Structure 1
Amino acid sequence: MRDTYLDSGKAVLIFLVVLGHFLERMVGWKDPIAHTLLGTIYFIHMPAFILVSGILFKDKNWLKNIFFFVSLYLPFQFLFPAFDAIWSGQFKFNWNIFERPYWILWYLQGMVLWTLLAHFLIKIKFPVIISLILALCIGLSPWNNYQYSIGRIFTFFPFFMIGVVYGKSILQKIQQFKFAAVFGGLIILGIVSYVYFSQINPFWLYGSLNYTQLKVSSWQGIGIRMGLLLTSSLGIFALFALVKLLNPRFIQLGQNTLPVYLLHGFVVILIARYWKLDFNIFIEIGICLVLSMLTCWILQQQFFDQLLRKLSLWLMKPIAWLGIK
């Protein structure tokens, strides 16, 4: 039986992902109000989404799941640049096409590595602590953390491992906590206030650069990243505390997050290319909200989920013949 509470949380998260991308492409970070909304979303949505991915991790299917994510990553790594080139008119083949996963595809690359690492880490002591050390130390690396998404993958890795090891019990305790929604609301208010007054550099929230690239010392970088990870953890608690108040009508969206995640990028690219917003900031945010709702409603349909699963068969069928489970 599916967990409707978890599905409701996934529905909120995928909506925030889509909304964040519409806002980023069509409004940007420059306006203080947009910056505050985007910053609050980015503090929470991917850390929480990755924690949920950890909760859904099944070690017995680890190798099959890796091939599944690879089977989607490879074609989309060609499809997205090709689609972008069609509408931009700039046709130029990049021989280093796999050096930087295209935009949202870093999550698929992350799922491959997180699944692989989790398979081994759960067999030893202190897997969460090890993942946290990796998250803090990746910023010390001398190479560009944007390459191959290594910065993002390791920065957000602790949330995946927390999901694997403690995720289900955390969600259970949140549901049982009587005043969870009250504390959740206060935490969201605190995060909004912090983002508004600090106007934090978005690259800290992306997790894609090392400390040198972010122009801080090693110890400053470790301290800031630790604080950001803690803030995101509180944000995750707040989100799932408030999810308890939702009507379960959004469950279908939570059940079909993968097609929404992968396919909404095409919609955002196309609309953002041809529609430049030049209104009051609140009208622009309202437009992005409407576009996000429509995009989620359309892409949650079973047709798109089935389409992705058929696309993945090019690799899944051969590994099935090899007896990989």
Structure 2
Amino acid sequence: MSDMTRSTGRHAMPLPPQRPSPAAGRRDRAGARNPVAPGPTGTSADGPPVKRRDAFFDNAKYLAIVLVAMGHAWEPLRGDSRAAAALYLTVYTFHMPAFIVISGYFSRSFDASPGRVRRLVTGIAVPYVIFEVAYTFFKRWAGDDPTYPISLLDPWYLTWFLIALFVWRLTTPLWKIVRWPLPIALAVAVLASVSPDIGDDLDLQRVLQFLPFFVLGLVLKPEHFQLVRRKEARILALPVFAAALLFAYWAAPRMNAAWFYRRDSAQELAAPGWTGGVMTLAMFGCSLVLVACFFAWVPGRKLWFTALGAGTLYGYLLHGFLAKGSRFWGWYEADWLHTPLGEITVTLIAGAVITFLCTPPVRRMFRFAMEPTMEWAFKHDATALAGGAGTTGAEATRTAGSHRRGGRSA
């Protein structure tokens, strides 16, 4: 019975609050039935509620960034290994969409207030400038291209995600007020895929073609994540992933992998214009299915790598120097790397490196570039508002940050 029905009498004594059942406690510890959305989980020593990180999202971000690093490690092996090519296509179908969905989900509270805009600048715009310049000098030095220009309008390699996230977050208030946000975002993506004149400025093709995944994250609710984390979903995910790998194995020598990068229009890929719309919708559907399967197998409890989920942006940006350096310096020229044993070795090394780059010591070392405070750059009223808003939005603007409500994620 509820407390209301047990205390309806005039002289009824108030009853103590109900305690959760042992079964509920077990479910909570296992993480299988915990609500996905972060929320108050207790009270601090001074009284105000505090928020707890949800292990599910930290686990998802860590596992996704490991797949990103492995995908980059497999790229030079695709020409000699059809299996590596199949794994590459499968992973590229869902790893960045999964990051973007999480980013959208934790951007729902973005309201363009001064504090949140300030965090967007320090958490996204400033790191974009820093790493765009750093990558440029790295390419000049390691890539033996001394004339390669610095261009903040033409993101190089991994920095496209930062500028895309900056644009997506700025448009969040718009997607929150339109009646059909996801269909409109899909229409925008389709139009971009058939528009070869968009150009390379700010990598707008990627910004627009990946937009539906961000908008999808904005419209998702905690119960949607609970749905894909059920036992039935985990069981179903296995044959779906197996079918995806088999299809990728068949498609690897027949399909242009550039479709998965979403950085070109159909015409730029030497395909008829109408195929852009078809491929955009088809790949969105495939990505959505595999993202759901990926989330189904993400653990909901705290594990040894859970804390690393807060540092995935560090791993994402820093591993780019090694990923590109491996090509510049000819690391893949060794014949043994193109054998099954070499491919396995490369995969394990990629996982170990990206794990190290997400650790707290690395984050402390590079925090000046990733999370600058820049108090000197803002008016005092904006600074005060940012401080008053607490940390709820401080990490939502990153691929790898926290998943507090409105927090940085990717």
Q: Normalised by the size of structure 2, how large is the TM-score?
A: 0.73
Give, in angstroms, the shift of residue 126 of structure 1. Answer: 1.5
Match of residue 90 from structure 1 = 145
Aligned twin of 2:204: 150
2:359 to 301, 306, 314: 301
CA distance 1:296–1:219, shift in 2 (3 Å): same
Contact 2:55 2:302 in 1 (8 A): no
Counting only pairs closer than 5 Å after superposition, residues 173-252 of structure 1 correspond to structure 2 as 173-175=227-229, 177-199=230-252, 200-244=255-299, 248-252=303-307
1:275 is matched with 331
For each residue in 1:220-266, what CA deviation from the matched residue of structure 2 results, as whole angstroms up to 9, or x when unmatched? 22112101110000000110111138872220221211111111111
Distance of aligned partners of 1:104 and 1:255 in 2 relative to their CA distance in 1, 3 Å threshold: same
* SS of residue in 2 equivalent to 1:226: helix
Structure 2 equivalent of residue 11 of structure 1: 62
Cα distance in 2 for residues equivalent to 1:35 and 1:145? 28
Where does residue 88 of structure 2 map in the other structure? 38
- CA distance 1:320–1:93, shift in 2 (3 Å): farther
Task: Give the number of aligned pairs.
Answer: 322
Cα deviation per residue 1:184-223 (whole Å; 9 max; x = unaligned)? 1122112112211122211110001111112333332211
Structure 1 regions of 5+ residues with no counterpart?
A: none
Question: 1:154–1:65: structure 2 CA closer, same or farther, 3 Å change rule?
Answer: farther
Q: CA 1:317/1:239 → structure 2, altered by over 3 Å: closer, same or farther?
A: farther
Query: Which amino acid is the alignment partner of residue 64 of structure 2?
Result: L
Find the residue that maps to 2:171 and give its secondary structure: helix
Q: In 2, are the aligned partners of 1:14 and 1:261 still within 8 Å (CA)?
A: yes
Provide TM-score, normalisation by structure 1.
0.91
Q: Counterpart amino acid of 1:208? A: R
List runs of 5+ in structure 2 lacking aligned partners: 1-51, 387-410
Find the residue that maps to 2:264 and give its secondary structure: coil
Corresponding residue SS for 1:256 = helix
Amino acid across the alignment from 2:341? I
How far 1:172 moved relative to its partner? 1.9
- Identity over aligned pairs, percent: 22
Aligned to 1:210, the other structure's residue is in SS state: coil
Which of these two proteins has the greater Rg computed from alpha carbons? 2
Do the aligned partners of 1:39 and 1:202 also contact (CA within 8 Å) in 2? yes
CA contact (8 A) 2:196 2:268 kept: no
Specify which structure has the bigger relative contact order, considering alpha-carbon pairs within 8 angstroms and separated by 6 or more residues. Answer: 1
Amino acid at match of 1:278: D
What is the alpha-carbon root mean square deviation over aligned residues? Answer: 2.2
After superposition, the Cα gap between the structure-2 partners of 1:18 and 1:317, relative to the gap in structure 1 and judged at 3 Å, is farther
Residue 167 (structure 2) pairs with residue 113 (structure 1):
yes
Q: Which has the higher helix share?
A: 1
Cα 1:170–1:137 shift into 2, 3 Å: same
